[in-house]
Every structure is written in C-alpha cells, then in structure tokens.
Structure 1
Amino acid sequence: MASRFTLPHIDITRFRSSGEYTGQGSGGSSAVRIREEHGAKLLHELDAAFAAADASRQTDPRLPDPTGSYIEVELRRGADPYQLERKTEGISPRAVKEHAGGRSVALFVPDHARIALQQILEDYRAGPLTAAGKPRRETMVGPIEAFRRARLEVLWTDDLAALPTDPQHQMWWSIWTFRETEAELEARCQSLGLRTAGADRRLYFPEAAVVPVLATRAAIELLMFATGVIVELRRASDNPVFFIEDERDTQHAWSDDLAERIEWPGADVPVVCLLDTGVNRAHALLEPAVAPADMHSYEPDWGTDDHAGHGTSMAGIALHGDLVAPLADTEPRRLAHRLESVKILPPKLNDPNSPSAYGAITQAAVALPAIEQSERQRIFCMAVTNGDVPGARPTTWSAAIDQIAAGTMPGDEEGAPRRLFVISTGNSDPVMRLAEWPGPDAYPVEDPAQAWNALTIGGYTDAIHVSDPGYEDWTPLSGAGELSPHSRTSTGWGAGRSPFKPELVMEAGNRAVCPARRDLLTLDSLRLLSTGHEVDRVPLVAFDGTSAAAAQAARMAARISAEHPDYWPELIRALMVHSAEYTEPMQAAFAAHPQLRDRYGLARQFGYGVPDHDRAAASARDQLALIAQSEIQPFRLKGSRQFNECHYYQLPMPNAVLESLGNEFVDLKVTLSYFVDPSPGVSANVDPQRYQSFGLRFDLRRKGEGVGAFRQRVNPSEREDPRKGPPAHPDDNRWLLGPDSMSAGSLHCDSWSGPAVDLLGRDMLCIRPVVGWWRERSSPTIVNRQSRYALVVTLKARRTDIDLYTPISTLVTPSVETPIDPFAGL
C-alpha cells in the first residue's frame, strides 16, 4: 500500500533533562460511418458533455480546485476502450460496462486536454484521409457512438440496484484507483473526513488498488466531480461468505495459492506467542511459520495440537490478519514474524484448571518458549478470560499478567526482559432475541483483562454488509464504526480506581437483525476469515469476537517489533495507542458530551480508538511522532523514603508553521507507557497506589505560562516553599479527557485540539512520579529501583499539505551529538 507514513519517528530522548522532585473485448459493428456527419455529431455531444460537467462540477474548500472531468463514452459492442487513452494528455478510460447495445466507458479528461480531444474529433471529421483512404484517428473515433454527461452511475460497475439513491446513505464503497494515485485518494478522503480501510482490507492488482471507503453517496459524488482519482466504484462487500459458502469445495486451492505467494519469515524474527487451545500447524497457511519446537503445552500429556479450533483461528489472524483480502488478490506477501503456541486449555470437556490457578498456569506457559529460544522478541496473546469474574479490581490472575509484563514474575532474574501482553476483553453473551439485547455496557470486561500492564483489546465493527444466502434482507445490529456487539466495556468500574479498559478496539465482527426486528444471529458475512483446525475438511472458517480483535492487535505489535527491533515493549504499546483514532460515530459521541467526566464512560467503551499500523510504525509530514525511551528512578532512600526525580522534555515545536496556520486547528496527543510491578493486596482493590510499584504522570506547559512558573507548578522542589501549593495558571478546556483521567493504570493518553497559535510556547513537558508501594518499603534496593517508560508526543495537522516534519527534524538534527539542556540561558 502506498502510504504517506514513510518517515522515521523523531527521537527526543536526548532533549530530556532530570530535575530533583519532591512531591496514536473485441469485435464490433461493421456499419459504415459518414465521417463528417458522425464527427460533427460527436463534437456537438462532447461540447454538451463538457458544459454539463462544468455545471455539475463541485468545489469544496477542503479539496484542491478540480482539474478535470469525467464524461461518458458510448462505444460499439466489443470496442477496445483503451483506444481512447492518450497518456501524454492524461486522457484515461476508467470504468467500463457492457450492455446489450455496446459498452459505456467513464473517460477522465483533464481540463488542459479538452482541446486535444476536440482536435482529434476535428481531424477525424474534416482532416485529410490517410494513404490507405481512411479517416485520420479512425481507430479511436470510429467505434464511438456518443458522448454524454457523466453521472455517478457511469463509474458504478456493480449491480445497479445496489447503488444507493439517497445522497446521505452511508456504506462501504470499494474505490478502485490507480496504484500511483492511491496516496492521493487517501489524502482526499482524509480532507473530507472519510475513513479508508487499512492495508489488510485492500486489494492490489498489477495496475490497480482497491480501497474500501466509508462514505455517503454525496461524499462519493463530491470525490468524483472534484477529483480524478476514481477508476471505478463497487460495493465493499468482500467477506468470509464467498470462501465459506461459494468456494467451500476449493478452499484448499485458495489456501495453497496464497501460501505460494508468501515470502515466509526466517527463524530470527519476532513471534506472536498464543496461549490458547493449541494450533494445528499442518495448515498450509501456518506450517512454514510455526516450527515443531515452537509448539508447547502446559501439561505434556495434553499434546500441542488444537482440540477445539479456537487456537488455530487465532493463529491465522495473528499471522495474516483477516484472510479475505489476502486470498482474493494476486499480490506476493511478506511475513516478518512467526508464531509460537502454548496450550493452556485441556482437551477434556471438563476443565480441571481452577480459575484461581490460571495466574500460575499463565506464568508457567510464558516461561516455556524461553527454554527453547531465550533471546526472541515475543508478543504474548491470550483470549482466555474468566466468565464468572468481572475485572473491576485486580485479581491474582491479572496481577500475574502484570508481573509477566514487568519482568518480575517468579523465576525472572534481575533485569529480566519486559514483555508485551495482549489480551481480549471477553465477549458478550450471544442472545438470540433483540429484545433481550441489553447493549455492551451490561457486559463488564472479564478477568484478567483488567491487568494494568496488558494491552487490552475490545471490538468495534465495520462489517455492515449482510450477504449470507437467505439473509440478504437482514440488517446489521451495529452501524459502521460503532462498538461491536461482541465487545465488553468497563463503564461500570469505579472512577479513579481502575484503568481505562479496553485501550484499543479492533474489528470484532457484527450481528444481524431480522426484518421483523425480533431475532439476532451471528452471520458469516459479518465475521472475519481465518484458518480452521480441521485442515483436511474445512481449512477456512469464519471467526469473530474480541478473540479476533486481540489476535489482530498482537499481529500489529509483532510487525512493529520486526520493523523496529530497538523499540521496547512499552514503546510499542504507546505507539499503538498513539496511532489510534476514533471513528465518526465515536467522535460524535464525544462531541455530544462536552463535560470531561462524562467522557470517561466513552473511553471505557472505545478505549483510545482504532489503531493503524502505518501511523504506529512511521511518521508523515503532516503527522509525526516524537518518541523517547528513558529510565527514571521515582524514589530514593535518603534518611527517609522520598521522591527522587522528574524529567523535563524540551519539545521541538515548528513555531513558524504554527504561526502561519493561525487559528487553523491542529492536534497534539501525548501517550505515556510504563509497566508497574504489582502488589495485589486487599487495599489494592480500593487504592491504586497500593497496587502499583510507582506511577507516572505527564503535564504540558500551559498557554502563556513561563518556564519558571511551569516548573514551579509541576514540581514542589522548584518552589521557595515546597509546602505551599503550586502557583495558579489556568489550563484551557481543549483536552479530550483532562488530567483527572490519569488516576489508575500504567498507560496514560490524552489529546489536545485547538488553534495552532495556541500551541506557541507550549513546548515543555514534565514526567513526574506518583506514590507506589516501592516508596513504602524499608529496603534501599527496592526504594532506589529504576524503571523504564516510553513517551510519544504526536503533532498532527488537519491538512495533508502542511509540513510539520521538516522544521521539527531540522531542530532535532544536531551538528554535534551533545545532550540538550532545555534550561540553558534561562
């Protein structure tokens, strides 16, 4: 996929200073033309078509001025539409449709090429004959029957009955574009606020890219009449049904074809380690990426093969993502990560593993792969939850996962690696009657997904096209971009005592409602496609729920790790959150709740939004990430147990660009990620500071606040009398969640949106510690411990033509590599 996110993130670690602290066809008709008559007719129709195009041309301040028009060309039956192409002038045929009388072609004509096209027709009509006695330009003009004004229908190549007539009807459109214009299409969609699907849902052919776009008909018409990026339009209806129903007998052929197109990874790459029901590695789409030595089981007599199917379906998503697009296109694909499997669920129907034992079981399972490959970078992924225990408070299982992530579980030595652990929220109950559906807020996130250090994944959905045979008149329960009906939320958890869960939402599928609005069903067309464990019989199966969402998140994390092997797990987690954006329905929900505390419940439904691999892995000129990986010593034992240090970051801000943008809005996002060492005592259920080993918070310099005043406000050590409160300086109300939202958890994220000029002078950020159980210990080796954190600060323009990256990178690139003192000269 052509992405504008191709620039390296900007490392600002060296912009940190420490201070003491206290306190995202062929054939045709043989009818003889009378060239003068035919040419004159075509010239008249062409002029009329251009006049109609000009009259219907739409302009929009969010888009560049139009530079061309579509017209419809009627050709003789079997005529070659590419005879119309004139590459030098930029005249190109687009969508081609057959009908009983011939062919119609959508022809894009740049404004500057109108004269050239008119001259071609004039040469045909009145120019001298060729040596063979033929009219000039006959091969191009002869097959043309007529020119007409172009409507949206001329680009629509799907069933005409499926084309919505209501201008405000919203759906997923498959926009076909040339590969070289994919980035332009994406930029235009972003300018209009339209959501484009990620790389995993796009198809690629030798000359075309197929991009699903969520939009109304009116927005697509605006794209058509104001830009020239559309080649053709269809419904974005690819889903598992084609492979599960229509192609059931040829599933093996589809799987084998994809397997042959994959460049499989070597041994020395990151892995997604699945803790589940095992994996059937005999599958053609799994076997090259799952070595026998990488198959483990908590109990050896359970075996390592998949007895239930869930683990194999998790494996397919964790390795490939949703298989619908990879199976349907013809592109070679490259994998940069592998899989490991640890079977933690027994093959018997009655589970002998007591839920209370799953903390130890999970830790033992995590240790098994390291025996074989101790140096591997691993992303652990688990979609096993305790359905009887909501996760509002820490449990032994969730604390065990926090220990796994922090590298402090039993058996871990000093300096043990941190681990990124991805876990699902658990799924809602699959009720069969709409009247019985209480909504996702009735289903709290299940234990152990409340683990502070885990990246907890819920579900949203873009699956809104029902195409299962016999169910075409059923409708989706959730709209595009809304929370998946399979997901769970933490809206009922105590404010301030529990972290926001989930942190991210990914595609989890949808459910369907019957026309009578009575029955609810889970249909295959509203699910993802993955690998099945019954390889000989059904190698491709539908898969959904937060299990599928968690597997997608683990895959994203492994891909980032493969691309950036120097990134800590804390930074990968932060970058995935930094990359997340809210869908339009989610944004509307936030906009309807201007009070910060009212928004906390929304964050407990949607997390921080839907992540995007491209944004997480790289920056763009209009949207860049400043990153830092640092160590901090929160406390010290110096006569008494006390705070030790805070960190200040001098942020390189593009002040000239911000000034030039004036009151144009920009967005700034801050994500802080670290892993706590848990202490799940009784008091930890009511006091987060008793659970965490330490905590961190961030604070940004406020508008009009001097550096000295900022330091005094955030750090009592900077005040003449540390016992006095901080100097007053009002903050604006442009934060999405506000500082009070950072009360629990080991990941904190907030977004500021406002006029660009209001960011001038807001170029300093403080990372400061808060109380944790390390501070209460008497042992100096505990009180004086250091820990790590990752910081991501994202600056984003609202227009893709704004270059924020260049001026910032210029500020960051030093002539001599020396540490930066942000307070020099103050």
Structure 2
Amino acid sequence: MRLAEESRPRDDRLPTPTTSIIEVQLRRGTDPEKLDRKSDNIRSSAAKVDDRDERTIAVFVPDESKAVFAKILDDYVNGPVTAEAGNPPNKSLVEAIEAFRTARLETFWTDNPASLPADPHHQMWWALWCWPCAEETVEDACARLGVRAANKDRRLYFPDVTVIPVLATRATIELMLFMTAAIAELRRATDNPVFFLDDVRAEQHEWSDELAGRIVWPGTDAPAVCLFDSGVNRGHALIEPALSESDLHSLNETDWGTSDHHPQGHGTAMAGMILHGDLTAALGDMSERTLRHRVESVKILPPDRFDENDPASYGALTQQAISLPEIAAPDRPRVFCMAVSNLEVSGSTPSSWSAAIDQAASASMTGDEQDAPRRLIVVAAGNMAAETDPTSMQPQDDCPIEDPAQAWNALTVGGYTDLTEVRERDYEDWIPIANAGELSPHSRTSVAWPQGRAPFKPEIVMEAGNRATNPAKSEALTFDSLSLLSTGSDMTRMPLVPFQATSAASAQAARLAAQIVADHPDYWPETIRGLIVHSAEWTEPMLEMFREASGKKQKYEIIRRFGYGVPDYDRATASAKNHLAMFAQATIQPFKLQGQRKFNECHYYKLPIPAEVLEQLENKPVDLKVTLSYFIEPNPGLSANIEPQRYQSHGLRFDLQRKGESLDTFKQRVNAAEREDSRRGPRVEPDDNRWLLGPNSVSAGSLHCDVWSGPAIELLGRDMLCIKPINGWWRDRAREYVNRQTRYSLIVSLKALDVDVDLYTPIRALIDVPVVEIETDLTPA
C-alpha cells in the first residue's frame, strides 16, 4: 500500500490524488468483487482471467479507508481463530490473494493486449469505463488536461458503468487514471457502425426494436423538425412514434406521394438522424432515452420518373414547403432543415433561393402577417464530390459552399470528423484523409468567397464522417466505419444504414436546435441560432491553425472553414462555474422618419461582472465571447451583390467599452446623439488587438460573433456594451418601413481558462434573471 501511495503521479493541472490503486492477483475461481467494501468506498475493477483461470483485479483504496483495508489483513494474521474450525478471521478472502502489486495502466486494459499502444505519445480514442458517479470527474480532468471527451450522444450508459470515449495519448490517459481514481477499466473505443452493418446485420430489426422500446416518445404537441427532402418512410420502428401520418406532406402529393423515393433512402436517414443523432451509441447501451421533439416531412424532390424541379423555382418551392406544416399544425414550434443544394453553384452572392430562405426566416414572405412567427432554418453547406482517385480531388477551399447556404438568416452547417479508424476487414491499413478534429473530407468551405461582401459560412460544423486512402494513396473510398449510423428506408432488408456528409451534419444541428426549443419554448429562433453558435468551440487542430495564423485575414479563412466550431448541448443550455453566459432578447427600432430619415436608438448593457472578480483574477487569462443574432429582411436588388447594406433591411453591431475609456467618452464614440457636434466624435485611443476577428471582420450576415482574450484585469472598467444599428434599405423606404421595429438576441459569456476559477457564484449573485436590463439612447455614430 505504501509503495502504491508513493508512486502516485503529480501534476499541477489535476487535484492531488487521494486514492491508492493496487493490483491484486487472485487464485482461480475467486469472485473478483470479494474485496469490495462499498460502505468504505473500497472498490475493485478491471477483472481479468488468464488461461489458468487465475484472476487479476485493480483495487481502489481511498486514503480514509486505508485502516479498513489494513485491518482485514491484520485480523487474519493476529485476530482470534474461530472456536470450531480454528480458522483466522477473513480466511477465505485473504487466502484467495496470490499477490499484491503496484497497479499499472496494463492492469486496467481489458481489451486485446496486442492493441494497447506502447508509445506514450500515441493518440487514439480510448474507451474509459467509469462508475456512473464519476462522469463529471472525468469531464473535469479532460478539461484540465486539454483533451476531448466525446459528447453524451457518443457515450454508453449502463446500470453500473458509463463508457466515455476520450481522444488522448497513452501518457495523458495514464495521468488521468491514477490521479482521478475515476476510471474502472480501459479499452480501445470500438463502437462503430460496422458492428451493426456487418457483424449483426441479420439482427438489425431486433436491435432497432430494442432501442425503440427504451425510448420515451414525444407527444403530438412537442416541437418538431420539419425536413425538406425526398420524403420519409414512416414505418420504421425508430421513426413512426415521432412522425404522424398527418405530418407527411409533399409539394405534389397526388403524383409524388410522401414516401422516400431516394435510392439510398436519404430522407429517411435524415429523419432518423434528426430524431436520434448517430445511432451507434444509442443502440449499444441500456439506458432509457427521452425524446422531446418530433419530425415532420415535406417531399420537395420529385421521384425519378418526373421532371426535376427548376433550380430557379426552388425559392418559391421552399416557401411553399414551409407553409404546408404551418397550415396543418399552426401552434407547433418547429425548426426547418434542408440538405438540398444547387449542385456546383457557389453561394458567394445572394440568389433568389437564398433570399427566399432569408425572407421566410424573417417572416416577410408572401402571405406572412405582420406578427407572423420568425423561423429557424438549418441548411447544409454542400458536399465535395466523392472522388475515388485522390489525384482528382480538388482542395476543399477551392470548392465553395453551394447555393442556398449563403442565406444570411439560415444556420449553415459544415462538417468536421472525429472518425479515424477503418474497421472493414482487409482494409485496416488504409489511412484516414482527415485526422480527428479536422475538416471532414465531405465538407465545402467559403474561403473563396469575397471577404466583406459574403457572410461567414458555415456558422458551425458537426460530425460528417471521414474517407480513407490506400497506403499507396492511389485510391480513396468512403467506409461504413468512417460514417454515422441512421435509419434505412428499406425496413425489411436493412433498417440501419451508414450516413455521412453535410446532410448528416445539418440533421444533427437541427436536432440540437429542437432540443433547445423543447427546453426553452420562450426563446426566439434568433436566440436558438445564437445559443448554438455561442456554444461552439474549436477542436485542438482548429485552434492550432489559429495559433499559426499570421494575421486577421488568415483567421477569417479559418472561420470560413470551420465556422465558430463544434456546438454542444450542455454548453448551449447551462452555465458552468467557470463559463457564465448572459443573454438578452430585445426589440429595437433602427431608424425613424422625423423630418428626415435618421438612426433611431442604441441599446446599452452593463455587464454584471464584479470588479473584485477581475481584480482577484489579475493576470489570469479569460475569454469574453459576444454573439449577436438577428434576422434581416432581404432585398436582392440590383446592387445587393456588391453592397451588403443594399441587401439587408438593417444591420446591427456590438461595441465594447475600450480600455481606459470613460463611460461618457464611450457613449460619445458610438452615439452621435451624445456629442455636442454630432459630426465629430471624441479623440480616442484605438482598441486593443485582443479581439480574435476584430470589427473589420463584420460586414455581411446577420450573426456576429467574436472573442476577446487577455488578462482578466484588462477588462476592469470595460463593463458597458452597446448594440447599435447600421444602414439598410429600410432607412430609404416609405414610413411603414423606416419606422419598423425588429428583434435581436445578445449572448455574452466570460470564461476563465483556469478551470478552478468560480465565476458563477459571484456573478450570479448580482442577477436574478438571465435577461439584462437595457438602457436606450438615440442616434448611433
């Protein structure tokens, strides 16, 4: 025990260990749980048996229970023997022990010994088998060590264990193992669609039915994701309870029907992904799953025997598709999702289709009443051609995001990937094209779009799968093992199918949006979009690109590949103690007609960040993240392609009080109404260069996000934030336009990079509600 205690690792990033772990070898036939003392938190794990039926276990002994463990052995040696048989205390237990050894990482490895990497720097996805109560401990350790734990959708939940995939090196896993005492067992992360598509292919129905029986299905009044695609085959066990017959629509129901006609069942796979996400983990665990959103379908693609839709008509067809479910179920909250795009047509400038989406989102399409609800519309960025010859592959930056994903008001979704291991038999030596955390080979970017005239797209990336090449790099293929798993349209033959690309990514994003709608039915679509984007974080490979960027221009290009990163449900819906979010939903009137056309008002927010918190943090690094989300009314007129302010009805910007800037000077700088001479602003020092993107990055688009990074003390006195309008075509129009009001959502978070810092308690003490009070002034600069 003393040796185990002395060999504990030390690392300033993690709390000091308080548990010793020893390896115990038991004689053949011994119950591995014989040493457990649950009341004293003495636990055994990682039970293994060799060819001679001898057992090896790891035993966790907390410091406060060392005496208990020692007494078991001491009583055996020194305790009184029984009167009848003359046996010492604990005879059966102690005599079952063959040896004690200091535990090693190998002690916990219960997978094939040959698959355990020997190199301490080898990085892979590990499966951490943890006690259910230790999930937060593992998450905290991952955050402290800067490694990535898979989100909850990729974890497995069983009554006695939670399996968490973690991407890390062997050395990092070893540190977590012995410093947290939270990991009961280690294996290679093996959950993969190949198991369901190949190994148990004949049993897919049983697996699907078993999962369907564990789901608590939503009621008919639950929020829905309305899918525009090739139709959905509703009879699937994992779809039917969440898709009513009355929620199947079609642009031409008489001739096209509503069922999925796509050869690969694209619409049905989209529906399954919208409801459940990647099915790989869900099928493999035993937990009850509660589904709180539904799916609706509008078939917008004609079957093969019919003429294709005219691309020029897709704007009108999309708006028509939006009206069908709204007429059928007008009171149901919904998110719209579309993975259809105008193939090989760049979305660098507004089109009739993208403008129609912007119009629908802003509730300004034909037939919308003045108080019609705004709409959240999720669209896919479009896919790269699946070339089999690697030499024919174009660079992804040369393949722009496809029309209509440039829509300003839409949430555009690209793809990244964490899937890096080819599992197909005879292809194990093939090499993934992308490493974990990098851009999916399926995804397009907007790097080729003109900066300043085209919005940043995509806003987020989700898992889209990977591809691989042979060792000679003469052939490239898309593998099931590098894909996600969803519902198949041929329920009789293959109810589970591989699914990938930005279709899968956009379906997951729509699912996330519906989950937030179910949690917060009072949040606006603008807010849901803002929360998703605000929750996004870049993976380590993406962050490395930012660190290597030589200037703002290169950072803009990184945003045009990955958006603002990978969103997360937990971050979007809750504030961690060191990452506090505040938001406002507000209405603003940008312009007014009062003799002449003028800007109307600014909104000021005092951020509830106590000065004493910043003073206490001093030079510790913090991130202040600001996301502003609103919908514009589009006007794709003659000069809208070259001048964003001609396309937008109005624009909004945020501005933070600068270092050393008084409140009066700040207001005079951003607001002409605060000045004696409205044409001349105060002389001020330029802003610091701590914004990731900076104000020059903001031009086109209706969502603006930026991060200020620096020492906490430099935010002292910078607690006022302004929302101000900029020009748009409303200002030049008749009174009913120029005097219109519009809405926005503002989300601000302060994140301490030191995970031990508690921002939540002191800040939360100042605010009783999450919506911050607004101070209004007139006429921004």
Same-fold call, TM cutoff 0.5:
yes
Q: Which runs of 5+ in 2 are unaligned?
A: none
**Structure 1 residue 296: deviation in Å?**
0.2
Structure 1 window deviating more from structure 2 (726-735 vs 385-394): it is 726-735
1:795 matched to which residue of 2?
A: 750
Residue deviations 1:570-611, cap 9 Å, x none? 000000011000000000000111412220000000100000
**Structure 1 residue 350: deviation in Å?**
6.0
2:365 matched to which residue of 1?
A: 409
2:81 matched to which residue of 1?
A: 129
Change (3 A) 1:589 1:181: same
Change (3 A) 1:687 1:627: same
User: Amino acid of the residue matched to residue 302 of structure 1?
Assistant: W
**Structure 1 residue 711: deviation in Å?**
0.8
1:352 matched to which residue of 2?
A: 308
Secondary structure, in 3 states, of the residue corresponding to 2:473?
coil
Residue deviations 1:191-249, cap 9 Å, x none? 11111111100110002111111111111111122221111111112111000000110
1: CA distance, partners of 2:148 / 2:115: 21
2: CA distance, partners of 1:804 / 1:822: 28
2:240 matched to which residue of 1?
A: 287
**Structure 1 residue 820: deviation in Å?**
7.0
Change (3 A) 1:819 1:529: closer
**Match status 1:54 vs 2:9:** no
2: CA distance, partners of 1:86 / 1:459: 47
In structure 1, which of residues 483, 490, 510 is the aligned counterpart of residue 466 of structure 2? 510
User: Amino acid of the residue matched to residue 227 of structure 1?
Assistant: T
Structure 1 window deviating more from structure 2 (100-109 vs 690-699): it is 100-109
Conserved? CA contact 2:124–2:169, under 8 Å: yes
Conserved? CA contact 1:273–1:340, under 8 Å: yes
Change (3 A) 1:475 1:275: same
**Match status 1:305 vs 2:256:** no
2:605 matched to which residue of 1?
A: 649
Conserved? CA contact 2:316–2:356, under 8 Å: yes
Q: Which residues in structure 2 correspond to 1:14-33 (within 5 Å)?
A: none
In structure 1, which of residues 461, 464, 467 is the aligned counterpart of residue 417 of structure 2? 461
Secondary structure, in 3 states, of the residue corresponding to 1:683?
coil
Q: Which residues in structure 2 correspond to 1:622-661 (within 5 Å)?
A: 622-661=578-617
**Structure 1 residue 433: deviation in Å?**
2.2
Residue deviations 1:459-515, cap 9 Å, x none? 000001211122112121100000100000000100100110000000000001212
2:70 matched to which residue of 1?
A: 118
2:55 matched to which residue of 1?
A: 103
2: CA distance, partners of 1:791 / 1:821: 14
Structure 1 window deviating more from structure 2 (794-803 vs 368-377): it is 794-803
Secondary structure, in 3 states, of the residue corresponding to 1:491?
coil
2: CA distance, partners of 1:200 / 1:821: 41
Q: Which runs of 5+ in 1 are unaligned?
A: 1-46
Conserved? CA contact 2:602–2:723, under 8 Å: yes
Residue deviations 1:676-702, cap 9 Å, x none? 000011311111100000000001112
Conserved? CA contact 1:458–1:502, under 8 Å: yes
Conserved? CA contact 1:53–1:149, under 8 Å: no
2:163 matched to which residue of 1?
A: 210
In structure 2, which of residues 19, 26, 29 is the aligned counterpart of residue 75 of structure 1? 26
Conserved? CA contact 1:439–1:485, under 8 Å: no
Residue deviations 1:541-562, cap 9 Å, x none? 0000000000000000000000
1: CA distance, partners of 2:461 / 2:323: 28
2:116 matched to which residue of 1?
A: 163
Conserved? CA contact 1:486–1:509, under 8 Å: yes
1:35 matched to which residue of 2?
A: none
**Match status 1:254 vs 2:207:** yes
In structure 2, which of residues 162, 176, 187 is the aligned counterpart of residue 234 of structure 1? 187
2:704 matched to which residue of 1?
A: 748
**Structure 1 residue 53: deviation in Å?**
5.2
1:807 matched to which residue of 2?
A: 762
1:6 matched to which residue of 2?
A: none
1: CA distance, partners of 2:145 / 2:594: 58
Conserved? CA contact 2:527–2:585, under 8 Å: yes
1: CA distance, partners of 2:20 / 2:550: 42
Secondary structure, in 3 states, of the residue corresponding to 1:389?
coil
1:176 matched to which residue of 2?
A: 129
**Structure 1 residue 89: deviation in Å?**
3.1
1:523 matched to which residue of 2?
A: 479
**Structure 1 residue 349: deviation in Å?**
5.4
Structure 1 window deviating more from structure 2 (86-95 vs 735-744): it is 86-95
1: CA distance, partners of 2:64 / 2:686: 55
User: Amino acid of the residue matched to residue 113 of structure 1?
Assistant: S
Conserved? CA contact 2:251–2:300, under 8 Å: yes
**Structure 1 residue 353: deviation in Å?**
0.7
1: CA distance, partners of 2:618 / 2:21: 37
1: CA distance, partners of 2:208 / 2:721: 51
**Match status 1:451 vs 2:407:** yes
**Match status 1:433 vs 2:386:** no
Q: Which residues in structure 2 correspond to 1:8-19 (within 5 Å)?
A: none
Secondary structure, in 3 states, of the residue corresponding to 2:639?
helix
Secondary structure, in 3 states, of the residue corresponding to 1:390?
coil
1: CA distance, partners of 2:416 / 2:362: 29
1: CA distance, partners of 2:753 / 2:700: 31
Secondary structure, in 3 states, of the residue corresponding to 2:15?
coil
Q: Which residues in structure 2 correspond to 1:659-808 (within 5 Å)?
A: 659-777=615-733, 779-808=734-763
Identical residues among aligned pairs (%): 59
**Match status 1:540 vs 2:496:** yes
Secondary structure, in 3 states, of the residue corresponding to 1:733?
coil
Conserved? CA contact 2:442–2:465, under 8 Å: yes
Secondary structure, in 3 states, of the residue corresponding to 1:548?
helix
**Structure 1 residue 738: deviation in Å?**
1.0
Residue deviations 1:363-412, cap 9 Å, x none? 00000111111111110000000113110000000000001100011111
**Structure 1 residue 666: deviation in Å?**
1.4
Conserved? CA contact 2:349–2:641, under 8 Å: yes
**Structure 1 residue 821: deviation in Å?**
5.9
Secondary structure, in 3 states, of the residue corresponding to 1:680?
coil
Q: How many residues align?
A: 771
User: Amino acid of the residue matched to residue 72 of structure 1?
Assistant: E
1:582 matched to which residue of 2?
A: 538
Secondary structure, in 3 states, of the residue corresponding to 1:331?
coil
Secondary structure, in 3 states, of the residue corresponding to 1:704?
coil
Change (3 A) 1:274 1:592: same
Q: How high is the TM-score relative to the length of structure 2? A: 0.97
Conserved? CA contact 1:500–1:745, under 8 Å: yes
Conserved? CA contact 1:428–1:440, under 8 Å: yes
1:40 matched to which residue of 2?
A: none
User: Amino acid of the residue matched to residue 63 of structure 2?
Assistant: D
2: CA distance, partners of 1:726 / 1:789: 28
Secondary structure, in 3 states, of the residue corresponding to 1:88?
helix
User: Amino acid of the residue matched to residue 505 of structure 2?
Assistant: A
Query: Larger relative CO (CA 8 A, sep 6+): 1 or 2?
Result: 1
Secondary structure, in 3 states, of the residue corresponding to 1:191?
helix
**Match status 1:64 vs 2:15:** yes
**Structure 1 residue 727: deviation in Å?**
2.6
